[in-house]
Amino acid sequence: MPPTMLATPHTLMGILIATKVTNPWLALPLALLSHFALDLTPHWDFFTFREKVTLPIKKKVCLDVLIGLTVGMFFVFRALPDRTQAANIFFSCFLANLPDGVEAPYIFLGKEWPFVMKVIKFQREHHSRLRFPWGLLTQLVLATACLLLLAL
């Protein structure tokens, strides 16, 4: 089963990094690294302790990605007309979610491509899971902290 944290906390961390670290040469690598740091935080996701990827889970994953994308685009458009900062936010959000996005061919198409399986294996080995509802609570706390820091 692929490991993944909900997309929205990753997106919010990408936004926070891009907003506080306006230099893209620093923000973008930090956004990518933040993905793995967040995955080390004990959390719950749609795949926690499940063996099969079912259609209802796929639908929930799509909804989660849509929420994350909406939140990210809100902050991208809010940064305009500063196109550099808008791009920094966009690409930071993208990179903060990229490792989970690489798993999409496996999750949605059942493709076990070697690179995808290596990413999944790496993430499994560096992932901390917690049962519902406590694992969702850690993500809500994280998302709330990001929003509060963005408000400063």
> Cα–Cα distance between 118 and 142 in angstroms, integer?
27
The pLDDT, as a whole number, for residue 49 is 65
The pLDDT, as a whole number, for residue 4 is 55
The pLDDT, as a whole number, for residue 5 is 62
Domain limits, the chain: 7-151
Question: What residues in the chain have per-residue pLDDT under 70?
Answer: 1-5, 48-51
The pLDDT, as a whole number, for residue 137 is 92
The pLDDT, as a whole number, for residue 131 is 85
Find the helix packing angle between 7-20 and 83-101, rounded to 10°.
Answer: 150
The pLDDT, as a whole number, for residue 77 is 97
The pLDDT, as a whole number, for residue 50 is 66
The pLDDT, as a whole number, for residue 1 is 46
> Cα–Cα distance between 140 and 123 in angstroms, integer?
21
